[in-house]
Structure 1
Amino acid sequence: MMPNRIFMTLAFAAAALVAGGCANEDPNEHHFDNRLYLDGESTVTTLLLKKDTPSYTLQLTAAMALPQSHDVEVELAADPSLVERYNLAYSSDAVMLPAENYSLASPTTVIGAGSVASVPVELSFTGLDLLPSQQLYVLPVTIVRASVPVLESRRTSYYLFREGALINVVGELENNYLDVNWTNADVVNNLTALTVEALVFARDFDREISTLMGIEGKFLLRFGDATFNPGQLQVVNGNSKFPDKDDSKAIPTNEWVHVAVTYESSGAIRIYINGVLQSEGKCGSGAVNWGSYVPPSQETTSKRGFHIGYSYASERYFAGNIAEVRIWNRVLSAEEITSNNHFYWVDPASEGLVAYWKFDDGEGTTVRDHTANGNDARAFSEIKWKQVELPQSDK
């Protein structure tokens, strides 16, 4: 698992200042002694303990309001004695993050003459997936030495580690779509058996067709069709469509729904909604070939590509959020689909899992394939990311 690279602090709501000093001290205010401080949006950065996130790497920077005519030396260190201060200020019961789980690349840095920011210091966290997730951990990193006065209220940065939900970030598909420029297309070609899954949150179905994923005219998952309830999941395999119209099968809006479709080349097909078998029958026949890349602007009737959230026309987007998009080269059993937390997470190394787009990237236009196949998806435009906690605590 590659480490998550984080270059912006994640704000954590707090009601009191942790460090001493005046509560109204502003690091950007012109102080006569031009005091030094640790840069960041907050004195507390919250990071999540998740089994699929063993590591984080952050950049720690010291700064001043005004440049000096000489180099300013700064020494940083982790200080366990400040854990008690943190707990008192935040009514917390955090313990010091174990020494084996963090490292400062260099304890010293310099703000060069004429500059207002130091050379960044890399702060790395590793082995986090092995920590008990029920425990709160905190790492205080503080300025222990500087060649200029320090702004006391910003001397220390606290890194808080708490248990994260299985899903904390999802992507928005409305008026957007993703292509997969397959670097390893073989894994999704000639599929004589498959399972495709997604976790979706539909705000509305105000158009005739809303596309989930696939290739138009070949093998496509979509909601709605002419005369169909626009919220009913439909599979189109060549000239075959499944299932028949049934208004009772429309998925609800404004709530998270897990959908799964299993298919065999004999045509045998099953649709599961939230783990419950909704439809079973036959839809065409033959192997599924999804490993083609054709931009929508170049599509013709005979040559179309695999997309998430697009088919045939741009107005067929999916109006809502999406997560946990997976393709398997085997038929999952009902027991596997309904196994504990399966809707929200699976092991990327699971047998038969050939593509896994979690939509948890949180920035940019690329959605990483979490399998070893490297088939990342790329959005047409900047993705709107949404913070969530799934599964919801009241479920």
Structure 2
Amino acid sequence: MKMIRFSKYVVLVIILTSVFGCDDAEMKAIDNGLYIQEAAPSNKFDQQMETQLIDEGEVVKTLTIRLVRAIEQDITVTLDIDQQLLDDYNQRNDANYQVLPEEFRSFEKEVTITAGDVSAPVVNLTIKPYTAPNGEAYAIPIRITSVEGPIEMKGNANHMLYLLTSPNKQKAVILQNSNTTQIRFKNEIPVDQWTIEYWLRVDNHNKWDLNGYVGLSNKWLRQYIYHDGSAPILFNQILPRYWADGVAQIAPTLQFHMDNPGFDMDSEEFWWPDIWYHIAYTYDGTQITLYKDGTKNVSKADTREHAFSSMTLAGGSFSYGGYSMQVEFAQIRLWKKCLTPTAIQDGMSRQISGNTDGLIGYWKCDEGSGKVLKDSSPNGNDITLDGTPKWSELYNFAHPND
């Protein structure tokens, strides 16, 4: 009797196994997964974006398609360009990247993970140097589009988005107090939000000894370079101006000032001469924020109406004790929207298109000679400088201080 019952249980197990069972490869696939290794560094499956500088030579990036663990079956994977991935990024970040044209990129689109292996042969993505004559921004969005085999994707690591930067290389305009210039725009431009951004370098052109530059007792030295109240650039009532001392009285500060009603917002101290800085001020309708080299520095609440109708270069107190202040400018941009930190970082080291959405003033300052700074935005507010400006050497704005 017991033998009969035991036999029934054996038969039942055999039946269940035949109905619901699977081979060894399928069993392992239940807790297995496929992913792009470079999209999941240190097994963190949420890092599917990388910024890549493309300068003078080819760049090769690797993509490794792999499994969590090997199975006894071939897995064939197809990779391709994914326009939707890029569209989603542009929408989230208020960006305007385009897919890099095919002649400047190449990669193997089909790879196989051989049975018993955990990864396929490495895919080499080769990116060739390209030009962006109209300030185009390029990217390469790659996604796993199909998988042949009993395996599923692991997390979100089925794609990689490469944001490409081709560095802006240009000469810069050099201004002293003899070049102080104001321009009135052709039309007043009312805005609800705005961004002002530019590259600026304050030169120690008189070759002061900077030993002891920082400190309570050395304002006199700093003031010969960063003159109190000097405003390299200002728009209407918007006046970013330098002071040789900040609150701590140990180094220069950049103060954002407006009148009616009065508003002052001081940056952190420690601005050094002969160093390029990217400076961006944004206004979102409720607060003004300063970004220094793409990183938030300080912000302060404010609500008021704004309209842009004029711009001044080399304004304020641009001389002290018989010495002129000297600054270099590149890539002055005026926007009628509040750029996100990502948008500022994406665009700061490259040229952009003059037709970019929201751009209402764009002075590249890259002419290299003469006294006219062309406005590349649709508004065409070219600037004819007073006096005869100097022009710098060629800078690479991916690393302008090298």
TM-score, normalisation: structure 1: 0.49
More helix by share: 2
Q: Which has the larger radius of gyration?
A: 2
More strand by share: 2
